[in-house]
Amino acid sequence: AVVEAVHRLDLILGNKAAYQEVFKPENISLRNKLRELCVKLMFLHPVDYGRKAEELLWRKVYYEVIQLIKTNKKAVTHPRFSPLQHIHSRSTLECAYRTHLVAGIGFYQHLLLYIQSHYQLELQCCIDWTHVTDPLIGCKKPVSASEKEMEWAQMACHRCLVYLGDLARYQNELAGVDTELLAERFYYQALSVAPQIG
């Protein structure tokens, strides 16, 4: 199912007018399905497929769409015509793109919290908004994850913060959205989760 979804998304993005197709409901549904499958794979087999599923999710569901829109937003110059833009400010397409970025931020914030909760990671010293367990519930149930799974979870949190920083940076490139400080905040938090990576 994952391979089929990736293949179908590649066909859509390979089309000349892909920037007009990418936000059609059926294509959004396809990306949502792939996102769901990748998340399941990450948590069912974190050591074997977690990293690959993360990369696939980021690239196919978010990054390639962002690059497609950015490429078509730039002015296209033709020798006999004045510069053109495929995507105009305040157009329906730009609105869909903004929604895509906001949805990506929401998704990665949720994923970050879910990973922390699932693996009971204590990242309060690194991240200024973490999953906090309710002290009234009582003691935590023991985590039945291996050391390799815990390592994957920690690094997955790092990558979520990097993706959040990237999404905030892409938002900052749009007119009327000032998220430069937010992007920096996410990058600094990613650095504090995994300082050895830089």
Q: Which pLDDT belongs to residue 19?
A: 82
pLDDT in tens, 65-79: 999 988 887 644 444
What average pLDDT does this structure show over 121-130? Answer: 79
- Lookup: tokens for 14: 């390979």
List C-alpha distances in Å: 196 to 13, 15, 192: 36, 41, 9
Distance CA 198, CA 190 (A): 9
pLDDT in tens, 131-151: 655 555 555 556 788 999 999
pLDDT in tens, 160-175: 999 999 999 999 888 6
CA torsion sign for 105, 108, 111, 112 is negative
CB-count exposure of residue 8 (10 Å: 0-12, 13-18, 19+): middle
List C-alpha distances in Å: 20 to 15, 175, 180: 10, 21, 28
- Lookup: tokens for 54: 């993360």
Q: Which pLDDT belongs to residue 84?
A: 42
CA-closest candidate to residue 187, choices 171, 176, 198: 198
pTM: 0.85
- What are the extents of the domains in the chain? 2-74+84-193
> In which residue are the tokens 């390799």 written?
148
Distance CA 170, CA 92 (A): 18
Q: What is the CATH number of domain 2-74+84-193?
A: 1.25.40.10
